[in-house]
Structure 1
Amino acid sequence: MTSTDTAGHSFAYYADLFSHPEAQGGGEVGAGESDVLADLLVELVASLRSEHSKGVMPRNRAWHERERVLAYASAEAETADQAQGSLSVLRRALNVATTLMALRPWGAVAQWATPKLMVRDLAQVTRYLAREEKDSSGLTLDSRIRQRLHEALGDSPAVVVAHSLGTVVALETLHDRRAPAPLLVTLGSPLAMRTVVLPRLRPQPASTPESVKRWLNFWDKDDIIAVRPQLERDVRPNESGVLPCSSRIDSDGIWVHSAEKYLAQPAVAGPVAEALTAAERSAS
Structure 2
Amino acid sequence: MAEILPTLTRGDLCDVTFANYSDLFNRPGSQGQSAEEFDEHAVTVMTELLDAVLEELSEQFPMENRSQEALVVRDARFQLDAVVEQRQTQGLGAIGRRLVGITTTMLRLPGVRRSAQWMNGQALFFQLAQVGRYLDRRSKKAKVGEAVRARVLDGLDHARPLVVVSHSLGTAVAYEALHEYEGTVSLWVTLGSPLALGAVVLDRLVPRPAVCPENVAAWLNFWDRDDVVAGRPHLAKWISPNSDGVKAVTERVDSSGIWTHTATKYLEHAAVARPVIEALQP
The offset of 1:105, in angstroms, is 6.2
In structure 1, give the amino acid aligned to 2:247: L
In structure 2, give the amino acid aligned to 1:189: S
2:240 counterpart residue number: 236
Query: Which of the numbers 176, 179, 184 marks the counterpart of 1:180?
Result: 184
Corresponding residue SS for 1:34: helix
Deviation readout 1:165-198 (Å, 9 max, x if unpaired)? 1100101111122311010000110000112101
2:143 counterpart residue number: 140
The offset of 1:148, in angstroms, is 1.0
Q: Is structure 2 residue 83 aligned with structure 1 residue 74?
A: no
The offset of 1:109, in angstroms, is 6.4
Asked if structure 2 preserves the Cα contact closer than 8 Å seen for 1:36 and 1:130, the reply is no
Query: Which of the numbers 90, 98, 104 marks the counterpart of 1:92?
Result: 98
2:5 counterpart residue number: none
Alpha-carbon distance in 2 for matches of 1:106, 1:51:
14
Change (3 A) 1:93 1:209: same
The offset of 1:119, in angstroms, is 2.1
Asked if structure 1 preserves the Cα contact closer than 8 Å seen for 2:167 and 2:190, the reply is yes
Change (3 A) 1:122 1:134: same
Cα-Cα RMSD = 2.8
Corresponding residue SS for 1:140: helix
In structure 1, give the amino acid aligned to 2:185: A
The offset of 1:250, in angstroms, is 1.8
Query: Which of the numbers 191, 210, 213 marks the counterpart of 1:209?
Result: 213
1:192 counterpart residue number: 196
Corresponding residue SS for 1:113: coil
In structure 1, give the amino acid aligned to 2:143: T
Change (3 A) 1:228 1:17: same
Deviation readout 1:230-255 (Å, 9 max, x if unpaired)? 31121101111111111111223333
The offset of 1:141, in angstroms, is 0.6
In structure 2, give the amino acid aligned to 1:73: A
Alpha-carbon distance in 1 for matches of 2:103, 2:50:
9
In structure 2, give the amino acid aligned to 1:143: E
Corresponding residue SS for 2:183: coil
Alpha-carbon distance in 2 for matches of 1:267, 1:115:
33
Asked if structure 1 preserves the Cα contact closer than 8 Å seen for 2:118 and 2:124, the reply is no
List runs of 5+ in structure 2 lacking aligned partners: 1-8
1:49 counterpart residue number: 58
List runs of 5+ in structure 1 lacking aligned partners: none
Corresponding residue SS for 1:236: coil
Q: Give 1:212-231 correspondences, 5 Å limit.
A: 212-231=216-235
2:261 counterpart residue number: 257
1:34 counterpart residue number: 43
1:11 counterpart residue number: 18
In structure 1, give the amino acid aligned to 2:177: T
Asked if structure 1 preserves the Cα contact closer than 8 Å seen for 2:111 and 2:258, the reply is no
The offset of 1:97, in angstroms, is 2.5
Alpha-carbon distance in 2 for matches of 1:119, 1:60:
27
| TM-score normalised to structure 2 length | 0.82
Change (3 A) 1:60 1:258: closer
1:170 counterpart residue number: 174
Q: Give 1:99-118 correspondences, 5 Å limit.
A: 99-104=105-110, 113=119, 115-118=121-124
